[in-house]
Amino acid sequence: MHKLYNSHKALLVDRLGKVLLLRSSNPNEYGEDWDLPGGMMESGEEPLDCLVREVLEETGIHIDKRDAKMFYQKMAKGFGDMASEDVLKTFYTVSIEDHELALSWEHKDFRWIDPRNNLDDDIDGYVVDVIE
């Protein structure tokens, strides 16, 4: 039986309109090199609870799920062990005030980008589609 997985990602937007990107510590296993905070929904978990949990785990930033506004969904293939699986990716914008970061082991770097400017050449994949 084919299973559909759900991933919830946050476009964290600071007061200056900049968006947070995280650099994967292992893009071959975890997917895109530069990515948005978020991840897979656990069994029995509600979508926005997943978003809050994943953002906190990956960045140390506490968000309020009432501030999350869904703006885009996309079907995609998984990566790593899940390369043959279908993943429904749901994206939300979340405005944040404070952004002191504590990166998880899944990420080795971060950057705040201004989506109104041209994206750097090393940012690719679905991240470009979502931000533009």
Per mean pLDDT, which range of 44-48, 66-70, 94-98 is the poorest? 94-98
- The helix (H) or strand (E) run that includes residue 29 is helix 27-30
The SS3 of residue 59 is helix
The β-bridge relationship of strands 4-13 and 86-95 is parallel
Task: Give the span between the Cα atoms of 40 and 4, in whole angstroms.
Answer: 11
Phi and psi at residue 81, in whole multiples of 5°? -65, -15
| Alpha carbon distance 107, 1 (integer Å) | 32
Q: Which of these ranges, 11-15, 49-53, 54-58, 72-76, has the smallest mean pLDDT?
A: 72-76
Provide the mean pLDDT of the chain: 86
Task: Output the pLDDT for position 36.
Answer: 93
Residues in the chain: 132
Q: What is the pLDDT of residue 69?
A: 97
